A and B are shown apart, each in its own frame.
Chain A
Amino acid sequence: MKTNNVILETATKVILFIILLFSVYMFFAGHYEPGGGFIGGLMASGAIVLLLIAYDLKTVRKILPFDFKKVTALGLLFAAGTAAGGLFFDKPLLTHWFTYVYPPILGKMSLHTAVIFDTGVFLVVVGVTMTIIQTIGESE
């Protein structure tokens, strides 16, 4: 997958940014509107795939020097950690805690442990998709 198309590369950079932003939006919207960690994660990895198409595996590896399997594990750790967190407060597993804060200017905001859990989901999805795509890509 080697394409040295300058236009594509430039366009990719822009689109990539937009998609990543959108994926973050989707991720945070999840609790209130359609969206969530899963969709967000898929979007983000979609963006990275785009990067792959524009450049090649090696370049992407340079830009994102992660072992995506470890990203997956990290995501699981987040999710499982949030889940187990409840135990330390003598609550059942996965008990969430949330509150609303009203900082000036920004208005009503919610703080929710579910977000951390969802971050885990996000990371796992990114990790998994990227692992799969990288592995298959390398084998070819």
Chain B
Amino acid sequence: MSLLHLAIIAPFILAIFVPSLHKALPKIHTGWFLLPLPIVLFSYFLSFLPQIIRGETTMETLNWIPSLGINFSARVDGLGLLFSLLITGIGALVVLYSIYYLSKEKEKLNQFYVYLLLFMGAMLGVVLSDNMVVLYGFWELTSFSSFLLIGYWNHRERSRYGAQKSMLITVFGGLSMLGGMILLYLMTGTFSISETIAMAATIYGHELFIPALICILLGAFTKSAQFPFHIWLPDAMEAPTPVSAYLHSATMVKAGIYLVARLTPVFALSGLWVWLVAGFGILTLFWGSFSAVKHNDLKGILAYSTISQLGLIMSLLGLGAAAIHYPAVEAGFYTVAVSAAVFHLINHATFKGSLFMMVGIVDHETGTRDIRKLGGLMSIMPITFTIAVIGSFSMAGLPPFNGFLSKEMFFTGMIRAQEIGFFNMETLGLIFPIVAWVASVFTFLYSMIIVFKTFTGKYQPEKLEVKPHEAPLGMLISPIILVSLVVVIGLFPNIVAPLINSVMASILPSLVAEGMKFDVHIYHWHGFTPELFMTIGVIVVGILLYKFMPRWTGIYNRMPEKFSLNSAYDNGLAGIQKGANRFTNAYMTNSIRTYLLYIFTFLILSLGTTLIVKNAFVLDTANVANIHAFELVLVIIIAIGSVSILFVKSRMTSIILLGSVGYAVSLFYAIFRAPDLALTQLVIETVSVALFLLAFYHLPKVNKNEEHMRFKMGNAVISIGVGVVVSLIALSAHSSKAFDSISQYYIENTYKKAGGENMVNVILVDFRGFDTLFEIAVLAIAALGIFSLIKLRLTRGKEQG
């Protein structure tokens, strides 16, 4: 186990100790025990930075199931490192924030921090695994830790609802992704991502290629809350705010982005990939930003904003992927989309993280997140206000913050979509800049709503549960660090450029192989470019829309709730459960007769069909014994006897008829040279009849209703069917004797080797004595059963446990 593996596993190891630490030292907030870990891990991952910038990667393999090509291979490259830094960096800030956010008296901190650590480890595993199966495992673990965190306040109905929803959708995606990975394996013969990438060119055009692509994208889209799978994310806001900031904005939801980026080299040769990723991305961008505006809950707005921003990054990755179709010289023109994606990924983590923490502070200090109740907090909470302004303005794309820079690059990437000379981009590519612009207007709008509805306007203390004041310093540290980053990156964007370059090298390795060197330079001023005019347009239109909001927000009510995706999910789930219940109850009638009818029908159909299809019925009349007259009589007696049982009403008569059939059978045994059988059958039949009489002796006369036994046509058809099938197979089997029986051996050896003369008995006690041993065991069990059944009567109504 290398240090790298240890780094990934460290959170799990710590998680094991958290409950006991919590118990042993209840006076210290459990969060303090955690805090060092992400900090140490962050610095550990920082130490990789120089070598990554030099273009070197590190790979460490820990064997798990090498026989099946499933190994815990950890690989650090630009992409993995960027995410690791985000996970540990934001992780540290979130833990610090949570220490002040969650009360150590009221909350089950042991659980909370275990979940958080599970998540941290799982997420590191996702971004550092080179093996797809291991990646899948960590991927699902992130889903489950998210499930547990959303359901943290599990006595709330909404929390459970949100937890279930997120789990169902993301696990569905995960399974689909697993399917995609298996398909990839079948094409490449490896689960290793780097080896798959190396084989990318050979699998393009394979018949499983497109299915694999779609499966993988389903995984990515569900995790990253892309339209129409985004519906889980708003409900995930039931989790405590530190969780929302960490999982549902900065890290976990970006796992889908990570996956798309990671597998771009494998799939980008396909136009479908470019279109799907870019198309769903841009659609999500629009829908998220549009939907955010209608919400009154600050966290709701941020949730939709996150959806929208994820769509933005996704669409950039999609368009950027087209670059690999160009030779290295021209590719730079298109790779700007990829650099924008990576840059925005970093920026989003900073400003959205700070905004979530800001909302958490507002919630914590005022007791509400409803913008209709909030307002005028600027003077009461000046620091929080500053954080909100910086975060929101960056999100809105205003200079001089980092969001402005990536927004400009985003526009550039979108505009260049039309220049891509294939996949119909030359005609349809215009959609991208237009939708991007419209979405940006709404982004601007909701960013303003967040700041101004909360902090300006009328102060309404009567609507607040507690008297607000500025948050304690500890709670402010983390968002302050994040907004500082927003400002610093905004002013000096090129400090992150080397990192962006190395990330791009991971996403577009084929260009690197062709000798291309990524060299991103980010500028504030590009001249009077279309991007600049677009930004100005966004601001102008955005301000107008903000001013006249009451006039046009009515359109949101026009969309009926019934047709929303959410109600589709709710009704779908309820419908499936109800439908399943009705369906199952419909055929599971608890009536044994029905079950037997199903079973017999299947028996007749399957055996009958096989007989016909396989042409299996044969009749060989040569190899049969002769028939004596009295045998014929006996046959007729048995036949009549057994059929007449069907028609008798009295119990006694049917028991006696059964007995007489039994005796007739024992006569048959005698005729067919089976004296032992005849004897046994005779005695057994006597005892059986006696038992029958004993058991039914005490039953009172059945009432008339039951006495009235009508002839049932359905039953008769089934019965005849069973009889016919059994006969036909018997005839065919008898006519198809292909080998001599092994019994000649018994005839020869009964005396010589087994020291007996009655072959049947010798078989019973010697050749097949084992059968006899357990046959009497069966009898013994039956006796014990009968004894206990009669003696033991636990007639308590419900026997439980």
Measured CB to CB, the residues of A under 8 A from B are 30-39, 42-43, 46, 68-69, 72-73, 75-76, 79-80, 83, 93-94, 96, 98, 100, 110, 112, 114, 117-118, 120-121, 124-125, 127-129, 131-132, 135-136, 138-140
Contacts and interface: CB of A to CB of B under 8 A. Distances in A.
17 contacts: A30-B758, A31-B765, A32-B757, A35-B758, A76-B776, A93-B770, A94-B766, A112-B755, A114-B755, A114-B769, A118-B765, A121-B765, A125-B776, A131-B783, A132-B782, A135-B786, A136-B790
B710 interface: no
A43 B683 CA distance: 8
A80 B770 CA distance: 9
Nearest to B784: A69
A125 B790 contact: no
Contacts of B780: 72-73, 75-76, 124, 127-128
B758 A132 contact: no
A31 B790 contact: no
Nearest to B694: A136
Interface stretch (B181-189, B576-584, B633-641, B674-682): B674-682
B691 interface: yes
Contacts of B769: 83, 94, 96, 114, 117
A132 B755 contact: no
B766 A114 contact: yes
A129 B687 contact: yes
Interface string B757-801: 110111011100110110011011011101100110000000000
Contacts of B758: 30-36
B526 interface: no
Contact of A139 (B757, B783, B790): B790
Contacts of A34: 675-676, 679, 758, 760-761
Contact of B676 (A36, A42, A132): A36
A35 B758 CA distance: 9
Classify chain B's interface size. Answer: 35 or more
Given A32-B756, A79-B773, A112-B755, A42 B683 contact: yes
Contacts of B777: 76
A92 to B, nearest CB: 10
Given A34-B758, A42-B687, A121 B772 contact: yes
B28 interface: no
Contacts of A135: 786-787, 790-791
B684 interface: yes
A49 to B, nearest CB: 8
Give chain B's interface secondary structure class.
helix
Nearest to A97: B755
A120 B760 CA distance: 18
B233 to A, nearest CB: 65
Contacts of A33: 757-758
Contacts of B755: 31, 96, 98, 100, 110, 112, 114
B764 to A, nearest CB: 7
B676 to A, nearest CB: 5
Contacts of A100: 755
B708 interface: no
B754 A124 contact: no
A117 B787 CA distance: 25
B779 A124 contact: yes
A36 B683 contact: no
Of all A-B residue pairs in the complex, the 4 with the closest CB atoms, nearest first, are A98-B755, A31-B756, A34-B675, A128-B783
B777 to A, nearest CB: 6
Contact of B783 (A36, A69, A118, A138): A69
Nearest to A32: B757
A127 B787 CA distance: 12
Given A114-B755, A128-B782, 4 more contacts: A69-B783, A79-B772, A96-B766, A121-B765
Contacts of B757: 31-33
Contacts of A120: 776
Contacts of A96: 754-755, 765-766, 769
Contacts of A68: 783
Contacts of A73: 780
A120 B695 CA distance: 28
A37 B773 CA distance: 12
Given A69-B787, A136-B694, A39 B679 contact: yes
Interface string B260-286: 000000000000000000000000000
Contact of A72 (B687, B698, B773, B783): B783
